[in-house]
Amino acid sequence: MNDDQLLRYSRHLLLDELGVEGQERILAGHALVIGAGGLGSPVAFYLGTAGVGRITIVDNDEVDLTNLQRQIIHDMSRIGTPKAQSAGASIAGINPEVHVRALVRRADAALLDELVAEADVVLDCSDNFSTRQAVNLACVRQRKPLVSGAAIRFDGQVSVYDVRRVDAPCYACVFPPDQQFDEVRCATMGVFAPLVGIIGTVQAGEALKLLAGIGTSLAGRLQMLDARSMEWSEIRVPRHAGCSVCSSLR
């Protein structure tokens, strides 16, 4: 690290668990962020400020006024701008050393297979079940850790799905692809603005720990937050031996 980096990341360097070696692993890391909305905003910001060397952001949507209540990486001047590009500009404004690749594309299976293979950690900040399943499938195939979050109304959840651990489940172990889930979106159901910040920040923290090789991840644990009472609950989520996605790929 050069002198500027030593100063910028000095508060990380003071942490015994992280230090110079951990920060250098972060600087060399590559994070793939799917979605630059409510969850993607704090995720991308904190990965950028922490110095993740490369961040790929995928989102095919544009910024509109209704986003600004909670999507803090965007501002009024970016209305009509692709969210991925807006997020990249915000990261560059606070840490120009980070290399951001902004892809204004839908995260389909072919693109995910390509991008996940290049990444060290994947963060699912999408807002629909089909995309989450596609991201999980690509992560299982490529043996890459997945940090997944969701938030709607006052309810949030977050976990890590890391198939490099033989005892850890993938996303489909917990939420099988063939189950019927009611798709609920903030456009019709609403979302408490700080909730996405809380869940997204936890996602960023889990990704940074994975990149730095420190601490214990949320793999095998699903944390849920009721922001009405600000109460967290946690359940253990084991690997499902009959999972249609990961059982044959382990």
For residue 186, indicate whether it is catalytic. Answer: yes
Sheet of strand 121-124, all strands in order from the earlier edge strand to the far edge: 99-103, 54-58, 30-34, 121-124, 146-152, 155-161, 221-226, 231-236
Exposed, middle or buried, 79 (CB in 10 Å: 0-12/13-18/19+)?
A: middle
Neighbours of 158 (CB within 10 A): 25
Indicate the residue type of 182.
D
Structure tokens at 11: 């508060």
Structure tokens at 3: 């002198």
Helix (H, G, I), strand (E, B) or coil at 5: helix
CA pseudo-torsion sign 157, 158, 162, 167: negative
Helix (H, G, I), strand (E, B) or coil at 62: strand
In the chain, at which residue ranges do the beta strands (DSSP E only) sit?
30-34, 54-58, 99-103, 121-124, 146-152, 155-161, 221-226, 231-236
Whether residue 181 contacts residue 90, with contact meaning beta carbons closer than 8 Å, is answered with: no
Out of 139, 170, 173, 186, pick the active-site residue. Answer: 186
Q: Give, in order, the Cα–Cα distances in Å from 206 to each of 37, 148, 202, 203.
A: 19, 10, 6, 5
Please identify every residue annotated as catalytic: 186
